[in-house]
Structure formats: structure tokens, C-alpha cells
């Protein structure tokens, strides 16, 4: 199989050398030096990594939340060639993953890329024209490795400031071992109409396990960033530890949409945090379908007057899965507003938890926050929990929280059956209706696949 | 023809219908009357196949010779049976258009359905928004019944049961719905109306009237029986049908 050759550098990607080996298992200061050297990074980044590693060594996993005891940090390979990320051939993929690709109709070329069997997705032509458009507008969209070298000043100003390495054990690990991820910078007043997709980066490190993303939207700008994939992504190593930092300046607007469907062996630990300045709008749209355990609590710090934060979340917890997700809205300025809509489905013994953390500071007057958390539990083995936490030091904050739990109503199923719908069609329709408030915010290309995938998952769960 | 013989039905351990025998002839319109708690809705749900209703061993329920007892509700619907619900529950995120698109998947293409729905809505006096909003979510009584009637028209069943299609609607809406059904419903379909409304009975002109009380059939007759019963109330009607070899009720 061919490696992308150096011609691809014009697209702004890092290019692994042909002779490079992976670093082998486990993490240590010397392995980190190796990683930094392979990437040819400036000194300050190596420093950052080493300091983060020190913090990681002294940190500990949270005592709350899902069981992470099976995670063995020493058995993970923290840097490796893309060809070693997943499997060597299509046949080595777990059968349920192959079957899903078949059922949702992923085209063959795409399959190989997603499976990690091929290093490149042949969409160069599309990519080049996208880049042309962006360059015209002065937009920077490249991978994080390149950004560190090509735009050091701007990266240094922001990198690790919203999510410092010491924030939690996962961000410490990511800060030490990160690789890949996106860098996006939108200049003042520029509105990017085309959604930026991480998928677009023909990069052998797509769907890397320690991605680090940094997005800066200058005043009055706007962008919609999309990452992930509805098709299941399989990786031999079981940890995905990512960090996303987003800066939304005055009057700017950023929407960050994630569709996650990691294979059932993966621990998906992500720290996502955005800072919204005066009159800025930050929207997280988060769909969690896969992984063995997900811990992800996207946050918006509403730092300027009139800022708005929104979080729309959908999670599906099936057999052997624990989706532990949530949202944090920190109101630090007056007239700020936040809104959370969470829809979760638990089936076959799966477990989904929602943790809300809304805080209003004393001087943040005129604020409001509303959360709606709806859970659908499909059988008696499955479970859903909601842990809302609302606290306000401002006397006039309007905080509302609603949570509902339901199972698929027999009466509704009977109604649909009386129209001739089979139990499966009826269940599918009811579930689609349940998740509709979130799915309608996801771009159509994803939402069609999303619906198909969820209906697939529902097979056998109803009727 | 819908044939019901010795039907005894229970929900949980409570017996609701006792030894009911009725025939509904093809193409005829019947009205079922009865005081609250008489088992009318249970009867319609039993015909449609609600899963929580248990029938006794010797209950017989056949539709055009086909034994309905082993069939689930959706299979009965596929045989041409339809039930318009008395109090349909809201289904968030699902519009009547989406529902019908699935129900009519093989029979009508989505574009034709889209057009047809709008024509029917206009005719029955329902604003277009009700076709795309979540079905029955925040709808008034009249709006819900109109949506049920529109579904009946499009699904074109051969046996339709209307459970209190008049309840919660004003007199004008009742007339509108009755006229609509008269215009759009298959002429040879068998219809069963469960109702309290003299106005509706007037409008649909039933071929036969059945009175249910305490889960039993207590009287059968024609249109006049309905008029009389509504005028005089149910308490005077005690069972005129004392054995299985029942005499016809007086007209």
C-alpha cells in the first residue's frame, strides 16, 4: 500500500516518513521525545508535552462515572503508522462492523478508508477546490501538526489555554501524546458557508485517537465544523482521548457537530470546551452512537454580555455500552442564555447518563437557562440516569430543567399497528420522532445515514 | 363479513365482554350504542386486535372467513380493517404525513400522497399545518377526529370502526366529517360507528343498531331503535335477547 508522498504537502498535511516505525507500547518521557522528533516540532511544544506528561503521571481517573478500570495505559501504542491503526485487510475487521457497512451501504472505496485499510480517501479533487475557496477568504483549515509549525504565534496564544493540561486526567494525557486533529482560523467578518469537515482532510491520521482541535472564530465570523462518521470506526487500541478548544469572539458564531460511532471496544474520553464572548453564539451538536464507554461533557463559558450557548445531544446506549455525557454552561456575564436538549435511548442492557452543570455567577444578571432531558428505555435491563446540577449566585436567573423517561408506549404502537405498520416500522417511526429535535439540526448527509443506522440498531428491539 | 360468535373478552383478570354474538354484513353501516362502561371501546379494540385483550377459548372472530384471533393488529389492518381511535395519543416528532408515507409505502408514491393529503384537508376543513405537525399533539377534539377521518379515506379499508368520531367536536365539524366520509369512503366498505350522537346517527343513516350494556348485547334493531334509546335512555332497556337463539329486537 502506498503512503501519501510529499506532493500532498501542498494541501497542508503532515506526512509521515516512510522509514518511521511506530513508538511501540506505553508512554514515557523518551517516547514523547520520539513523537515530537518524528513530527519535527518546535521546542515549546515538546516542553508542553513533557510538562503535561508529568501532570498525567500524578493525576487519577475520576471516582464517579463509568468503570474505567480495564483501561491499561501501558498497553496502548501512542504513535503509530496509520497502517497499523486498524486492520491490515478487510477480512480482519470484526464481522459486525463489516455487516454494518453493508447494511448502511457504504461505498467500497470509503469502506477501505474507514476501516483503516487504505491510507487515503480519493477525494483530492474535491479537497483542492474546497481549499481554494477557503484561501480566498483567508480561512485557515489544516491539521494541528502542520499548524504548530506553520502558524506558531497564533497556536501558542490559544493552545491549552481553555483546556489546560491539568484540567483532568484525560486532557493531561492528550496534551502529552496528541497527534492530528484540526486547526481552524476564521478572520474577522468572514462567514464560511460550506461546512468544514474533518473527513475532508485526506490525512492518514483521520480518526486518530489523540486528536487535538483548535478553532478560533474572530469577531463577526461564522463557521460550521463537522467531525465523525455514522459508519462504525474500528481501532485495535481501545482509547480515544481528544481535546477540542473553541474561541468564539464578539458577535461570532460557531457550530460544532460530532457524529461518533466508535467500535464497541473503545473508551471515548473527550474534553470539549468553548468560550463565547459578547453576543457570540456557540452550538454543540453531539451524536453518540458507539464506543464501550463515552465520557464527554461539552462546555460553553459564556464570558461576554449577551452570549448564547446551546447543546443538542443524542445518545444511543446498546449492549455493553455506557454513554456518560452531559453539558456545562457557565454564565459569567449578564444577559447570557443557554439551552440544552438531550435525547437518549437505552436498550439491551445499555446505560446512558446525563450530567448537567449550569452555573450563574453573582454579577451575571438577566440570565436564563433551560434543559430538557428525555430518555427512552426500551427494556427492563437498560438504564438511564440524569444528574442535573443548577446553581446560581445571581438572584434573577431563570433556570428550568425538565426530564422525562418513557418506554415505547403500547398504546402508540397499537395505534400505528392499526394503520398497518409492522412492529418494526412502528418502533422505527416512534424512535425517529423521539430524536427528531436533535437530528433535524444535523446536516442532511449525516442525518439520512443516522436515521438508517438507528433503525438498524432498533431491529429486534421492538416487537 | 365480520362475524363474532360467543365472544368473551377480558383485560387483565376483568371480564369486559360477555358472550357476544354479532354479524356485520358487507357494505352495511351499523351503530353501536351503550352507556359508559358498557364495553363499546373494548369491542372495537378487540376487533382491531389490541394485544392486552384476551379472548376466551370458544370466542370466534372471523373476517371474510379468516380467523382473526391469531393475527396481530398490523396484520388485521393489512386485511383491510381500520380503527379510528376515540382519544388518540400524541406522537411527538411524527406527522400524519410521515405515518401515512410508511403505511402506504407500496400503494402510493410520496408526491401523490403529499398532494392528496392537502386536497382532503381542505375539504374536511383542516389547516395544512396539521399535516406536518406532530400528530395529535395539542390538537383539539375536532382536529384529532378530522385527522382520523383523513387517514380512513386514504387507507381505504373494507371494514372501518369509528370509535366516537363525534366526541369533542362541534355540530358543524360532525356534519363535515360525516359528509367527508360519505364522499371519500369506499362505498362497499363495512362501517361500524360507536357513538352517542343523535346528530351523527341522523347523518349516517345506519342499516342496523346494536345496544350494548354491561358487556352484553341487549338489543338489536333499525334506525328507530336508536332514536327511541337516545330519547328514553339506557336504563329501560334490559336484555331482550335471552338465549343464543335470539329473537330480533322490536323496531
Per-residue pLDDT tens over the stretch B35-68 = 888 899 999 999 999 999 999 999 999 999 999 9
Look at residue A323 and tell me whether its pLDDT is greater than 50. yes
pLDDT given for residue A414 in this prediction: 96
- Give the mutation candidate from B102, B154, B192 for the A interface (greatest A CB count, under 10 A): B102
Is residue A148, in this structure, part of any structural domain at all? Answer: yes
Cα(B148)–Cα(A147) distance, integer angstroms: 60
pLDDT for the residue B171: 84
Q: Which domain holds residue A435?
A: 410-463
Interface contact A406, partner B, CB < 8 A: no
- Determine whether the interchain pair B85/A418 forms a contact, defined as Cβ–Cβ distance below 8 Å: yes
Check pLDDT > 50 for residue A4.
no
Q: Which residues of B touch A426 (CB under 8 A)?
A: 74
| pLDDT tens profile A17-53 | 433 466 778 889 999 999 899 889 999 999 999 999 9
- Whether the CB-CB separation of B142 and B176 falls below 8 Å is answered with no
Tell me the domains of chain B and their CATH numbers.
2-232 (3.40.50.300)
pLDDT tens per residue across span A235-244: 777 888 999 9
- Whether residue A191 is contained in a domain is answered as yes
CA distance B101 to chain A (A): 11
Q: Is residue A90 part of a domain?
A: yes
Interface predicted TM-score of the whole assembly (ipTM), two decimals: 0.92
A117: pLDDT confidence band, cut at 50, 70 and 90?
low
Residue B243 has pLDDT above 50, yes or no: no
Residue to mutate among A413, A419, A428, A447, with most B CBs inside 10 A, is A419
Q: Which chain B residues contact residue A407 at CB under 8 A? A: none
Query: Is A324 domain-assigned?
Result: no
A342 within domain boundaries? no
Task: Using an 8 Å CB-CB cutoff, list chain B residues near A434.
Answer: 92-93
Q: How far is CA B18 from the centre of its chain?
A: 20
- Establish if A392 belongs to a structural domain: no
Mean pLDDT of A143-156: 93
- Predicted confidence at residue A9, as pLDDT, reads 35
pLDDT at residue B166 in the model: 85
- Residue A116: what pLDDT? 59
Query: A108: pLDDT confidence band, cut at 50, 70 and 90?
Result: low
Chain A residues whose beta carbon lies within 8 Å of the beta carbon of residue B92 = 433-434, 436
pLDDT value, residue B236: 67
Rounded to a whole number of angstroms, the distance from the CA of A436 to the nearest CA of chain B is 6
Q: Which residue of A has its CA nearest to B133?
A: A433
pLDDT at A123: 53
Interface size A-B, in CB pairs within 8 Å, comes to 73
Q: Which residues of A are less than 8 Å from B102 in CB distance?
A: 421, 425, 429
Q: Please say which residue of A296, A311, A338 terminates a domain.
A: A296
**Grid coordinates given for A424:** 418494526
Cβ contact B91–A417 (<8 Å)? no
* Number of domains into which chain A is organized: 2
Q: What is the pLDDT of residue B228?
A: 83
Q: Is the pLDDT of residue B108 over 50?
A: yes
Q: Which residues contact B107 (CB under 8 A, 6 or more apart)?
A: none
CA distance A430 to chain B (A): 7
- Give a yes or no: residue A327 inside a domain: no
φ/ψ bin of A100: left (φ > 0), alpha (ψ from -120 to 50), beta (otherwise): alpha
Please give the Cα distance from A83 to A120 (Å, whole number): 10
Does the pLDDT value for residue A462 go beyond 70? no
Residue B250 CA to residue A16 CA, distance in Å, equals: 95
pLDDT for position B145: 93
A2 shares contact with chain B (CB less than 8 Å): no
Can you give the pLDDT at residue B4?
A: 96
Quote the crossing angle between the two packed helices A410-417 and A423-439, to the nearest 10°: 110
State the pLDDT at residue A126. Answer: 63
Within a domain: A363:
no
- pTM (2 decimals)? 0.83
CB contact under 8 A, A414 and B51: yes
How far apart CA A309 and CA A247 sit, in angstroms, is 13
Last residue of one domain, picked from the residues A257, A274, A296: A296
Q: Tell me which residue of A320, A157, A322 sits closest to A245, measured CA to CA.
A: A157
Please state whether beta strands B60-63 and B2-11 pair in parallel, antiparallel, or not at all (unpaired): antiparallel
Nearest to B99 among A410, A414, A419 (CB): A419
Strand locations in A187-280 (E):
196-197, 212-217, 222-228, 239-248, 253-260, 267-276
A72-81, A295-304, A358-367: segment of lowest average pLDDT:
A72-81
- Residue A334 pLDDT more than 90? yes
* Predicted local distance difference test score (pLDDT) of residue B244: 42
In this prediction, residues B99-121 reach a mean pLDDT of: 93
CB contact under 8 A, B85 and A415: yes
Asked if A440 is an interface residue toward chain B (Cβ–Cβ < 8 A), one would say: no
Q: Are residues A292 and A417 both part of a single domain?
A: no
Please check whether residues A417 and A290 belong to one and the same domain: no
B50, B74, B100 member nearest A422 (Cβ) = B74
Contact A436 B92 (CB under 8 A): yes
Closest listed residue to residue B99, CA positions, set B126, B135, B148: B135
Greater model confidence, A115 or A26: A26
**Maximum alpha-carbon separation in chain B:** 55
- Return the residue of A nearest to B71 by Cα: A417
Both A237 and A114 in one domain: the answer is: yes
C-alpha cell at A304: 461576554
Angle between helices A444-458 and A423-439 in degrees, nearest 10 = 140
Top pLDDT among A96 and B41 is at B41
- In this structure, the answer to whether residues A283 and A418 fall within a common structural domain is no
Question: Average pLDDT in the A42-67 region?
Answer: 92
Q: What confidence tens digit (pLDDT) does each residue in A175-227 have?
A: 999 988 899 999 999 999 888 887 555 444 556 788 899 999 999 999 999 98
Residue B41 contacts residue B194 (beta carbons within 8 Å): yes
- The confidence band for A100, taking pLDDT boundaries of 50, 70 and 90, is confident
Output the pLDDT for position B238.
Answer: 61
The CA–CA distances, whole Å, from A165 to A52, A178, A216 equal 6, 11, 19
Q: Single out the residue in A280, A296, A312 at which a domain terminates.
A: A296
Contact criterion met (CB < 8 Å) for B92 and A410: no
Angstroms from B145 CA to nearest CA on chain A: 14
The mean pLDDT value of chain A amounts to 85
> What is the grid cell recorded at B110?
410520496
Amino acid at each position: 500500500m502506498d503512503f501519501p508522498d510529499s506532493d500532498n504537502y501542498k494541501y497542508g498535511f503532515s506526512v509521515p516518513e516512510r522509514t518511521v516505525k511506530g513508538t511501540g507500547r506505553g508512554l514515557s518521557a523518551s517516547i514523547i521525545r520520539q513523537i515530537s522528533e518524528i513530527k519535527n516540532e518546535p521546542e515549546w511544544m515538546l516542553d508542553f508535552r513533557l510538562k503535561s506528561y508529568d501532570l498525567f503521571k500524578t493525576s487519577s481517573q475520576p471516582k464517579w462515572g463509568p468503570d474505567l478500570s480495564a483501561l491499561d495505559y501501558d498497553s496502548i501504542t501512542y504513535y503509530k503508522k496509520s497502517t497499523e491503526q486498524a486492520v491490515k485487510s478487510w477480512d480482519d475487521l470484526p464481522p459486525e462492523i463489516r455487516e454494518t457497512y453493508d447494511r448502511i451501504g457504504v461505498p467500497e472505496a470509503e469502506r477501505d478508508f474507514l476501516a483503516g485499510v487504505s491510507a487515503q480517501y480519493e477525494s483530492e479533487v474535491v479537497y483542492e477546490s474546497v481549499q481554494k475557496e477557503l484561501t480566498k477568504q483567508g480561512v485557515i483549515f489544516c491539521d494541528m501538526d502542520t499548524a504548530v509549525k506553520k502558524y506558531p504565534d497564533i497556536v501558542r496564544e490559544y493552545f491549552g489555554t481553555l483546556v489546560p493540561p491539568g484540567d483532568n486526567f484525560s486532557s493531561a494525557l492528550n496534551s502529552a501524546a496528541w497527534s492530528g486533529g484540526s486547526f481552524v482560523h476564521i478572520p474577522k467578518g468572514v462567514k464560511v458557508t460550506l461546512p468544514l469537515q474533518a473527513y475532508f482532510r485526506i490525512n492518514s491520521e483521520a480518526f486518530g485517537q489523540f486528536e487535538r482541535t483548535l478553532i478560533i472564530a474572530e469577531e463577526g465570523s461564522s463557521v460550521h465544523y463537522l467531525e465523525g462518521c455514522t459508519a462504525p470506526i474500528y481501532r485495535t487500541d481501545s482509547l480515544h482521548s481528544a481535546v477540542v478548544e473553541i474561541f468564539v469572539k464578539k458577535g461570532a458564531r460557531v457550530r460544532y457537530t460530532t457524529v461518533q460511532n466508535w467500535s464497541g471496544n473503545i473508551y471515548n474520553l473527550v474534553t470539549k470546551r468553548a468560550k463565547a464572548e459578547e453576543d457570540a453564539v456557540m452550538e454543540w451538536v453531539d451524536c453518540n452512537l458507539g464506543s464501550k464507554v463515552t465520557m464527554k461533557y461539552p462546555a460553553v463559558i459564556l464570558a461576554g454580555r449577551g452570549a448564547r450557548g446551546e447543546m443538542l445531544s443524542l445518545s444511543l446506549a446498546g449492549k455493553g455500552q455506557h454513554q456518560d455525557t452531559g453539558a456545562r454552561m457557565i454564565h459569567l456575564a449578564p444577559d447570557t442564555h443557554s439551552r440544552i436538549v438531550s435525547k437518549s435511548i437505552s436498550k439491551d442492557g445499555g446505560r446512558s447518563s446525563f450530567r448537567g452543570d449550569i452555573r450563574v455567577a453573582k454579577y451575571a444578571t438577566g440570565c436564563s437557562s433551560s434543559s430538557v432531558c428525555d430518555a427512552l428505555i426500551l427494556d427492563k435491563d437498560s438504564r438511564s440516569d440524569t444528574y442535573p446540577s443548577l446553581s446560581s449566585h445571581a438572584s434573577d436567573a431563570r433556570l428550568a430543567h425538565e426530564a422525562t423517561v418513557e418506554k415505547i408506549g403500547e398504546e402508540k404502537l397499537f395505534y400505528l399497528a392499526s394503520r398497518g405498520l409492522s412492529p418494526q416500522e412502528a418502533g422505527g417511526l416512534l424512535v425517529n420522532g423521539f430524536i427528531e429535535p436533535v437530528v433535524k439540526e444535523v446536516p442532511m448527509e449525516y442525518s439520512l445515514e443516522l436515521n438508517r443506522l438507528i433503525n438498524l440498531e432498533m431491529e429486534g428491539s421492538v416487537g | 363479513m365480520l362475524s363474532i360468535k360467543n365472544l368473551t373478552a377480558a383485560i387483565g383478570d376483568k371480564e369486559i365482554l360477555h358472550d357476544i354474538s354479532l354479524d356485520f354484513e358487507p357494505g352495511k353501516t351499523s351503530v353501536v350504542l351503550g352507556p359508559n362502561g358498557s364495553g363499546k371501546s373494548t369491542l372495537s379494540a378487540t376487533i382491531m386486535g389490541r394485544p392486552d385483550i384476551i379472548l376466551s377459548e370458544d370466542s370466534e372472530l372471523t373476517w371474510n372467513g379468516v380467523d382473526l384471533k391469531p393475527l396481530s393488529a398490523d396484520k388485521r389492518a393489512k386485511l383491510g380493517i381500520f380503527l379510528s381511535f376515540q382519544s388518540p395519543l400524541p406522537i411527538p416528532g411524527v406527522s400524519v404525513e410521515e405515518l401515512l408515507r410508511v403505511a402506504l409505502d407500496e400503494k402510493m408514491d410520496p408526491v401523490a400522497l403529499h398532494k392528496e393529503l392537502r386536497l382532503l384537508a381542505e375539504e374536511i376543513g383542516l389547516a395544512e399545518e396539521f399535516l406536518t405537525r406532530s400528530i395529535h399533539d395539542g390538537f383539539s377534539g375536532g382536529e384529532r377526529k378530522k385527522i382520523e377521518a383523513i387517514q380512513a379515506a386514504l387507507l381505504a379499508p373494507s371494514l372501518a370502526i369509528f370509535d366516537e368520531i363525534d366526541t369533542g367536536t362541534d355540530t358543524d365539524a360532525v356534519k363535515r366529517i360525516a359528509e367527508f366520509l360519505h364522499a371519500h369512503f369506499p362505498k362497499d366498505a363495512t362501517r361500524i360507528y360507536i357513538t352517542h350522537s343523535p346528530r351523527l346517527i341522523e347523518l349516517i343513516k345506519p342499516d342496523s343498531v346494536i345496544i350494548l350494556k354491561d358487556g352484553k348485547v341487549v338489543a338489536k334493531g333499525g334506525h328507530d331503535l336508536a332514536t327511541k334509546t337516545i330519547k328514553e335512555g339506557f336504563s329501560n332497556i334490559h336484555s331482550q335477547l335471552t338465549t343464543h337463539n335470539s329473537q330480533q329486537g322490536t323496531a
